[in-house]
Amino acid sequence: MKTVVIGGGAAAFFAAINTKEHFPNSEVVLFEKTSKLLSKVLVSGGGRCNVTNSETSISSFSKCYPRGEKQLKKLFGTFNNHHTIKWFESRGVELVAEQDGRMFPKSNRSQTIYDLFLSETERLGIKIQLKSGINSIKQEGEKINLEVNGQNLLFDKVIVCTGGSPKLEGFNWIKTLGHKIENPVPSLFTFNIPNENITKLMGLSVPNAIVSIQGTKLKNKGSLLITHWGMSGPAVLKLSSFGSRMLSDQKYDFNINISWCGESNFEGVKEYFQDVIRANTKKKLFNIRPFNFPKRLWSYLLQRSEILEEKPWGELGKKQLNKLVQTICNDTYWVKGKTTFKEEFVTCGGISLEGINMKTMESKHIKNLYFAGEILDIDGVTGGFNFQAAWTTAFIASKLN
């Protein structure tokens, strides 16, 4: 059996290695159109490679995929994050979980994953051909004909793992095979907030903020990071992922509301402040920081509420208290534009799952043609979920059922 894997990223290597292990006597070739391999693996997690997430519940794990949740929930029964951990550990790479669930190689270096994949392909005798772009795919009886570098080659099985594309045209070669393509738009991006003093607090992180998009039901609670261009952190990134298509339609021009204290119950927060006032009547506002706010944030919130820091708590009037609680529970910012999260580029969109047999990852249009990874209309939030989708779909495709 001759099998080709198209692509040079995470899903491609995982598919190639597992195909060769499932079918030791088969010939496995990997074609990559550029001269580079595993580029995204090397930059992921700030050069540490966020391999997967330690979340234990498959149901909770699946909910981290704005697109593909139902399908992945079933696939995780076959290959999930626990299988991923064992897969890497059995090959000498231990994964370590951080407090937020993200899992990295113990070495804290992406190079460890890169080296493992290269050594495994070498050990198994998998051929890697660089600068080998696919010009066309055609079915010929039970086999598939690929035009590569001017040559026509026949294969028994083909697994396509070419990753996402920022433009619809990037999927034209798949569209000609009869597959529907969901328009790709960016997912996982940070919010640009122009002309606001909040950016002076860059580098400051608030652990449990609630961020919501005005006029929608979209909201998320989590760590919020203030940057020199606006806002980032898990709270924003998850929101951008679930709202990616809608925010694209709005041309990234919208308003967000922030509860800095992680509570949206106005009256409850007001009662909390009344207790603070009773206990600290003569103390200055700035010296008693509610909700353990960082000093710089508390100072900013007082200024935004037009209240002097030197004012004693006991002299805080009813109107001023209401304004302060409003600022803390429901602060509004205008978002105009987005910024790609670090060097990672994730798209929502790709090959529609309705054209894929989700038990095997085989095309419903062309026999013996399989898909895995980001080329599919599957994407997850930040935290190792996108790589896990790549491992899962690639492993299932590699069984060539």
DSSP string of 293-326?
--HHHHHHHHHHTT--TTSBGGG--HHHHHHHHH
pLDDT band at 216 (very low <50, low <70, confident <90, very high): very high
Task: Examine the pLDDT at 195 and tell me if it is beyond 90.
Answer: no
- What is the pLDDT at residue 166? 85
- What is the pLDDT at residue 340? 80
| Residue 316 lies in domain | 189-340
Q: Are residues 306 and 274 in the same domain?
A: yes
- What is the pLDDT at residue 346? 81
- What is the pLDDT at residue 282? 95
Q: Are residues 48 and 85 in the same domain?
A: yes
Q: Are residues 38 and 176 in the same domain?
A: yes
Q: Are residues 16 and 128 in the same domain?
A: yes
- What is the pLDDT at residue 285? 97
Angle at 223 between CA 332 and CA 105, to 5 degrees: 150
- What is the pLDDT at residue 45? 87
Q: Are residues 140 and 197 in the same domain?
A: no
Q: Are residues 30 and 172 in the same domain?
A: yes
Lowest-confidence region among 29-38, 317-326, 338-347: 338-347
Q: Count up the domains in the chain and report the number.
A: 2
Q: Are residues 18 and 153 in the same domain?
A: yes
The reported pTM is 0.91
- What is the pLDDT at residue 194? 93
- Residue 390 near residue 372, CB atoms below 8 Å: yes
Percent pLDDT > 90 in the chain is 94
Label residue 141 exposed, middle or buried (CB < 10 Å: 0-12, 13-18, 19+). exposed
Q: Are residues 257 and 318 in the same domain?
A: yes
- What is the pLDDT at residue 341? 62
Q: Are residues 148 and 237 in the same domain?
A: no
In sequence order, which residues have a C-beta less than 8 Å from that of residue 110 and are 6 or more positions away?
Answer: 41, 42, 43, 44, 45, 47, 48, 49
- What is the pLDDT at residue 342? 58
- What is the pLDDT at residue 133? 93
Tens digit of each residue's pLDDT (9 = 90 or more) over 138-172? 999 999 999 999 899 999 999 999 999 888 999 99
Task: Examine the pLDDT at 208 and tell me if it is beyond 90.
Answer: yes
Task: Examine the pLDDT at 343 and tell me if it is beyond 80.
Answer: no
- What is the pLDDT at residue 49? 96
- What is the pLDDT at residue 345? 66
- What is the pLDDT at residue 82? 98
- Residue 41 near residue 10, CB atoms below 8 Å: yes
Q: Are residues 121 and 250 in the same domain?
A: no
To the nearest 10°, report the CA torsion of 386, 392, 393, 394: 100
Q: Are residues 286 and 367 in the same domain?
A: no
What mean pLDDT, rounded, does the chain reach?
A: 96
Task: Examine the pLDDT at 173 and tell me if it is beyond 80.
Answer: yes
Task: Examine the pLDDT at 11 and tell me if it is beyond 60.
Answer: yes
Task: Examine the pLDDT at 31 and tell me if it is beyond 90.
Answer: yes
CATH code where residue 83 lies: 3.50.50.60
Give the H/E segment covering residue 61. helix 58-62
Q: Are residues 180 and 203 in the same domain?
A: no
